[in-house]
Structure 1
Amino acid sequence: MGTIAQMIPAVHIGVATSPHEVGYLACWAAAAVAAVAVSVVTLVRRRPLGAATSATDFALACVLLVLGPLVLPSGERIGTWVTYQPAYALSVIITASGVRSRVLWAGGLLGVVVSYMVYLGGEIEGNMTWTAVGNVLTYVVYALVARIFFGFTRRIARDADSSRARAAELARREEERRAQVMMHNGVALMRLLTEPGTDATRSRLIDQAEVELRRMRSYLRGQAPDRDAAAAEVADANSPVVLAAVIERVCDRFADLHVDALVDLGADLKVPAGQAEALERALESLLLNVRVHARADTVVIHLDQDTDGTWVMTVHDDGVGFDPTSVPAGVGLREVVVGELRRQGLHVKIESGVDEGTTVTIWSGPGPAAVHTDRDATADAP
């Protein structure tokens, strides 16, 4: 379109000086119509020309160059916009460089170069010889640059498509993981509600189910999970929360398990609200596992804070335990406990043995030396 804009001011001079006015005007109109059509089609399709259109475009450029000597005044084939044919051919080369076929692109470029030599005919002499050579090199160089540009753009587009597909897959997996984490405790509670039990036990289960129901509703609505009334005082996600209060709140929901919470050594410990929420869900999941699988008589939760601000919390039950090397970690341990806590920057270690109960250690910072050693396969589960 830029080439056509430059051709327009000189068209009246070309018609006035041409030995064949009608032929000159017809050739000029053919170039103008083709340029406009190609531009419109390219913009509408939003991609480079196809093979058939590119071949037609190359052919028209070659025809206009070959017919140039018949419609142009003698001695004026280089240097003015009256002789628009070489510039039009250059615009065709640049535009058609987007064609995928290398054979068509190279053949079209060769055809334009040969047609340009025919266009010049016997008018090359003296310094004009080097001008002609320079014009031919311009065709070649611009063709290569445009070809490289189109290829680079296509590679960027392929990489973008690949990245977009990868991002969509990762988003799907993350949403699947979030759904598993959000639904796990609720599903466990529903399972317990279907089993026979005392009215007191069912009453406590119903209270817990209401908490999980609010969380599920918030998740389905795309909102942040609702917090308990006892935690409503937390103003925002950056406000610290007393961890001992979180532990005691969860223990109250599992009074039937005979949970012994020893939190005196960390009574004043405060953690970020995000960690507190993850710890609350993890502790709930651990106690639900004890209720469903462990058949434990007692559960001991111990919280200890060091002088440097780091802390360690252990959850031990005297239940049936399991063999971490032969029993894969379920969603509760893998995602709700290990996965969510590690995303909050906390460390988790799970130790268990058949008929030896289970101990889960959660800590911040480097932690005690004992915590660093013998990390079992369950703690490192993906």
Structure 2
Amino acid sequence: MDSRSEALSRASSRSSARRAERGIALVAPTMRAVVLVQILLAAASGAGVAEHRGAYWALTLSVVAVSLLLIVQCLVTGSVRRGAWHVPDLLLAWLAVPAMNLLLPDPFVVGTWEAWASGFAVNVGALAAAWLPPGVAMVHGVALGGWYLAWTLTANTTSWETSLSNALTIPGYALVVALLTHYLRGLAVDADQSREDAVAATRALELERYQLTVHDASSILRLLSDEDTPAEVLPGLRLQADREAQRLRTYLGAEPARIDSSARTVGTMLAHALEGFEDLPVEPAVALGAHVELDDAVWTAVGRAVTTVLHNVRLHAKADQVVVHADTDGSTWEVVVSDDGVGFDQGNQPLGFGLDTQVGQALRDVGVTVDVSSAPGRGTSVTITGPVAEVDA
């Protein structure tokens, strides 16, 4: 994956958090707009009964100005977490509660929109929970509700139960909004993390697929470019290089070569896999299992696995003898590639990419088992075992 596509993946992986924040930034101005309309509808009536008409209008217009600032900044920035309206909004909510008690007659203080402080306080407490930390937002909501209750109880209005219910509404809405925004943001973070994990997994899969594609080809190219490679090895390497070129063209989208269904046997698979390894001291002993038929996927996977094993032998084993044996007991078939080379310590030296992934994982994916046995100075033996197709049985 190139740097540009990686940058695009990173940008898209953060889109859930941005969408969640923009969603909250759309809901907040909508909530405020509803409250603002209610305040403006009752403002003329409230000013008419207020003891200080000018002070009432000044407070109302201040709320209108801050609310318009809130709406514009939320829509422009796409976030409620930043804005010049934060502190003025909180101050006006705390100021409006006692102001309504002092400016309006007692019968208007509770239960009317002329005294819009309670509805405004509920909205401020709820929106503060969208940009303040949840714990701070709840403390603020409880404090603002207590402030409202303390002032309304001083007015000669309805029962204290009504004032208490109105006061409890402020922290109640703050709690609901705090929980909702916390959940939405957490959900967005989880979605972004899942997308990043998927991108990382895709990148790892692409890398593994690339390694699978070029592993054998890189071995061939390395030997072809090495001036010390014996001349008698070069014809076989060229044959293998041509085969790898055809396979890479297939990988890039060319039409794959078709295999005659009658030729998909262990024998033809091994004959194809052994081409180009005339420089190795290979002794084939495949007559006992050569007739066993394989399906396309197994034929291809096992053939590539045997080729990879032989590439490893050529590069690392320093073997004097390589035996390729095939056999069957009627229910299973077996292919064994053994060499008498240097071997390796399986306890302390993990399998390389070729044996572990190119051979082991690739064959397990098509239902074929692999066993690797090696020891220092005793060579290496790779045993490949699969079920005989039902038609053969």
Q: Work out whether the TM-score is over 0.5.
A: yes
Distance 1:260 1:266, change over 3 A: closer
In the superposition, relative to structure 1, how do residues 263 and 147 fare at CA in structure 2: closer, same or farther (>3 Å)?
farther
Superposed CA offset, 1:62-100 (max 9, x none): 122222235545412333444332122112111111335
* Aligned with residue 145 of structure 1, among 176, 179, 204: 176
CA pair 218-47 structure 1, distance change in 2 beyond 3 A: farther
Which of 347, 351, 364 in structure 2 is aligned with 1:342?
364
Of 78, 93, 96, the residue aligned with 1:64 is: 96
What letter corresponds to residue 275 of structure 2 in structure 1? D
Structure 1 residues 262 and 153, CA gap change in structure 2 (3 angstroms) = same
Q: Distance in 2 between matches of 1:135 and 1:263?
A: 93
Equivalenced residues, count: 353
State how 1:87-102 maps to structure 2 within 5 Å. Answer: 87-101=119-133
Deviations 1:205-260 (A, max 9, x none): 122123334555776xxx46x686354x79xxxxx965543332112232443351
3-state DSSP of counterpart to 2:341: coil
2:283 maps to 1:265: no
Q: Which amino acid aligns with 1:15?
A: A
Higher deviation after alignment, 201-210 or 170-179: 170-179
Equivalent residue number for residue 43 of structure 2? 14
* Alignment partners' CA distance in 1, 2:56 and 2:300: 81
Structure 1 residue matching 2:107: 3-state secondary structure: coil
Structure 2 distance, partners of 1:125, 1:284, is 94
- Tell me if the contact between 2:109 and 2:157 (Cα under 8 Å) persists in the aligned partners: no
- 1:169, CA displacement in angstroms? 4.1
* Equivalent-residue separation in structure 1 for 2:322 and 2:273 (angstroms): 13
1:355 and 1:159, CA in 2 relative to 1: closer, same or farther beyond 3 A?
same
SS of the equivalent of 1:316 reads strand
Q: State the partner residue of 1:2.
A: 31
For residues 313-328 of structure 1, the aligned pairs below 5 Å read 313-328=335-350
Shift of 1:164: 4.2
Partner residue, 1:189: 220
Q: Deviations over 1:143-176 (max 9, x none)?
A: 2232233333343344444444444444444444
Rounded to whole Å, the distance in 2 between the matches of 1:246 and 1:267 is 11
Contact 1:4–1:32 (Cα < 8 Å) also in 2: no
Q: Work out whether 1:351 is the aligned partner of 2:373.
A: yes
Distance 1:242 1:74, change over 3 A: farther
- Name 2:307's counterpart in structure 1: 284
8 Å CA contact 1:17, 1:73 repeated in 2 = no
The residue number in structure 2 matching 1:177 is: 208
Match of 1:247 among 270, 280, 287: 270
CA offsets, 1:166-187, max 9 Å, x none?
4444444444433333332122
Asked if structure 2 preserves the Cα contact closer than 8 Å seen for 1:304 and 1:312, the reply is yes
SS at match of 2:148: helix
Tell me, in whole angstroms, the C-alpha distance in 2 between the residues paired with 1:37 and 1:259: 86
Equivalent residue, structure 2, for 1:373:
none
Please say if residues 313 and 363 of structure 1, whose CA atoms lie closer than 8 Å, have aligned partners that are also in contact: yes
Query: Which residue of 92, 101, 105 maps to 2:137?
Result: 105
**Distance (Å, rounded) in 2 between the aligned partners of 1:47 and 1:339:** 48
Does the 8 Å CA contact 1:51/1:101 hold for their aligned counterparts? no
SS at match of 2:295: strand
Does residue 330 in structure 1 map to residue 380 in structure 2?
no
Q: CA RMSD in A?
A: 3.6
Unpaired runs of 5+ in structure 2? 1-29, 389-393
SS in 1 for 2:384: strand
Of all paired residues, the percent bearing the same amino acid is 28
Q: Is the 8 A contact 1:241 1:270 kept in 2?
A: yes
Q: 2:233 aligns with which of 201, 222, 230?
A: 201
Q: Are residue 229 (structure 1) and residue 257 (structure 2) matched?
A: yes
- Rounded Cα–Cα distance in structure 1 between residues aligned with 2:178 and 2:152: 26
In 2, Cα distance between the equivalents of 1:243 and 1:73?
100
Q: Quick one: structure 1 residues 298 and 227, their matched pair in 2 at CA, closer, same or farther if it must change by over 3 Å?
A: farther
Q: Secondary structure at the match of 2:110?
A: coil
Distance 1:48 1:17 in 2: 30
* Structure 1 residue 295 corresponds to structure 2 residue 314: no
Give how far 1:291 is off: 1.7
Provide structure 1 residue ranges, at least 5 long, that are not aligned to the other structure.
235-239, 367-382
Q: Contact 1:251–1:261 (CA<8 Å) still a contact in 2?
A: no
Counterpart residue identity of residue 68, structure 1: M
Q: Is the 8 A contact 1:321 1:357 kept in 2?
A: yes
Q: Is the 8 A contact 1:15 1:24 kept in 2?
A: no
Contact 2:369–2:384 (CA<8 Å) still a contact in 1?
Answer: yes
Measure the CA separation in 2 of the matches of 1:210 and 1:315: 24
Q: How many Å separate the matches in 2 of 1:67 and 1:277?
A: 85
Could you say what secondary structure the match of 1:97 adopts?
helix
TM-score by length of 2: 0.74
CA shift, 1:326, in A, is 4.1
CA distance in 1: counterparts of 2:329 and 2:141, whole angstroms: 77
Paired residue secondary structure (1:356)? coil
| Counterpart-to-counterpart distance in 2, 1:46 and 1:10 | 25
How far apart, CA to CA, are the structure 1 residues paired with 2:113 and 2:46?
A: 13
1:288 Cα deviation (Å)?
0.7
1:42 to 69, 74, 87: 74
